[in-house]
Amino acid sequence: MSSPTPGTEPAEIAPIKPREGKRVLLAKPRGYCAGVDRAVIAVEKALELHGPPVYVRKEIVHNRHVVETLRERGAIFVDETDEVPEGALVVFSAHGVSPAVHAEAAERNLRTIDATCPLVTKVHKEVNRFAKSDYDILLIGHEGHEEVEGTAGEAPEHVQLVDTAEDVDRVTVRDPSKVIWLSQTTLSVDETMERVDQLRERFPEIADPPSDDICYATTNRQVAVKALAPECDLVIVVGSTNSSNSKRLVEVALKAGAKDAHLVDFAHEVDESWLDGVTTVGVTSGASVPDSLVMNLLDWLAERGYGDVDEVTTANEKITFSLPKELRSTVR
């Protein structure tokens, strides 16, 4: 996919300049997306306004550094709402929650701030809309991922998860003319389309989502890494191992021609042996990664002779989201 996604301005894609010797190709767009930015600010604002502790259900975004930094400032991360004391303040993460979680929170008189990314909320609404029309919904996504649990929880009796190719054979629908596929927001664009093709072979009348569910940030970061990967002996993706979109960037880089690719949370996790015989290193980062971590990696690489950095820009992102409504009266 090379056309710009909503909230994105197309960039003149300049050909990658040839260079002698060691160098870094730095992907743009990379790092923080609008949904992550909003969710992190929501916790910061909640801490500022209400003081610690502020409870956060699940990791606010899937990044170790971000979670640790917020923990130091007084956020307490819990797995479930029943770990939050009655009446306390809890923030729901960017990945979204099911209606059952909202109901549990209400039962325990919790004060809530919902930092679900608006692009995840959009998929929740699609589930509701098609469930109301009595469709069978085939949700392409990774089993056990929080976003998928929240999305499927909107209408569990209508949603079946399709993760692997085997799942395509396993699903059953009541009426093959009333079936739609939807997806998690952070998947590999290409692999998702493979899964859709497989579903379409089984259910030729399967409907497409009203608009792309894989979000602009996921799509743009994959397009950017694809542009530089064929030139790279090694691609380093900064991101956490539980970050779906970060893991997809490693896979996309390898498929697009990078000779090697790895995911690291921090520069110090790079194994120096990965650099053996490497001339060109590609660098990118997942949508939940602050750019300071990428700058640390560039410094680390510069110390090892990879000081020449060329940015490869495939799009310029303009999208921002307003804060959750519970925080909107406060000025950012």
Which positions make up the binding site for isopentenyl diphosphate?
A: 62, 95, 145, 243-245, 288
Indicate whether 284 belongs to the interface with ligand SF4 (CB under 6 A). no
Residue closer to ligand SF4, measured from CB, 233 or 251: 251
Choice from 287, 315, 323, 327 touching ligand SF4 (CB under 6 A):
287
Choice from 25, 27, 33, 256 touching ligand SF4 (CB under 6 A):
33
Indicate whether 188 belongs to the interface with ligand SF4 (CB under 6 A). no
Beta bridge partners of 109: none
How would you class 331 by CB atoms within 10 Å of its CB: exposed for 0-12, middle for 13-18, buried for 19 or more? Answer: exposed
Residue closer to ligand SF4, measured from CB, 217 or 229: 217
CB 291, min distance to ligand SF4, A: 15
How would you class 201 by CB atoms within 10 Å of its CB: exposed for 0-12, middle for 13-18, buried for 19 or more? Answer: exposed
Q: Which helix (H) or strand (E) holds 65?
A: helix 64-72
Phi, psi at 123, each rounded to 5°: -70, -40
Choice from 113, 168, 215, 249 touching ligand SF4 (CB under 6 A):
215
Indicate whether 34 belongs to the interface with ligand SF4 (CB under 6 A). yes
The active-site residue, picked from 59, 126, 147, 149, is: 147
Strands (E), the chain: 8-10, 23-28, 54-57, 75-78, 89-92, 111-114, 136-140, 159-162, 179-183, 234-238, 261-264, 280-285, 309-313, 315-317
Choice from 24, 25, 36, 206 touching ligand SF4 (CB under 6 A):
36
Spatial contact of 296 and 266, defined as CB atoms under 8 Å apart: yes
CA–CA dist 137, 161 (Å, integer): 9
Choice from 5, 218, 219, 314 touching ligand SF4 (CB under 6 A):
218
Indicate whether 185 belongs to the interface with ligand SF4 (CB under 6 A). yes
Binding annotation: 33, 62, 95, 117, 145, 185, 215, 243-245, 288
Does 126 participate in catalysis according to the annotation? no
Spatial contact of 175 and 132, defined as CB atoms under 8 Å apart: no
Indicate whether 117 belongs to the interface with ligand SF4 (CB under 6 A). yes
Phi, psi at 238, each rounded to 5°: -85, 125
Total number of residues shown for the chain? 332
CB 178, min distance to ligand SF4, A: 27
Residue closer to ligand SF4, measured from CB, 36 or 312: 36
Residue closer to ligand SF4, measured from CB, 217 or 294: 217
CB 45, min distance to ligand SF4, A: 17
- Rounded to a whole number, what is the largest CA-CA distance in the chain? 64
**Exposed e or buried b for every residue in 145-175, given b needs 16+ CB within 10 A?**
bbbbbbbbbbbeebbbbbbeeebbeeeebee
Indicate whether 225 belongs to the interface with ligand SF4 (CB under 6 A). no
Indicate whether 120 belongs to the interface with ligand SF4 (CB under 6 A). yes
DSSP-assigned letter for residue 158: T
CB 275, min distance to ligand SF4, A: 30
Closest CA to 309 of 28, 30, 24: 24
Choice from 63, 219, 245, 285 touching ligand SF4 (CB under 6 A):
245
CA–CA dist 22, 36 (Å, integer): 33
CB 175, min distance to ligand SF4, A: 30
Residue closer to ligand SF4, measured from CB, 148 or 217: 217
Residues lying near ligand SF4 in the complex (CB under 6 A) are found at 33-36, 94, 117, 119-120, 185-186, 215, 217-218, 245, 287
Where in the sequence numbering do the catalytic residues fall?
147
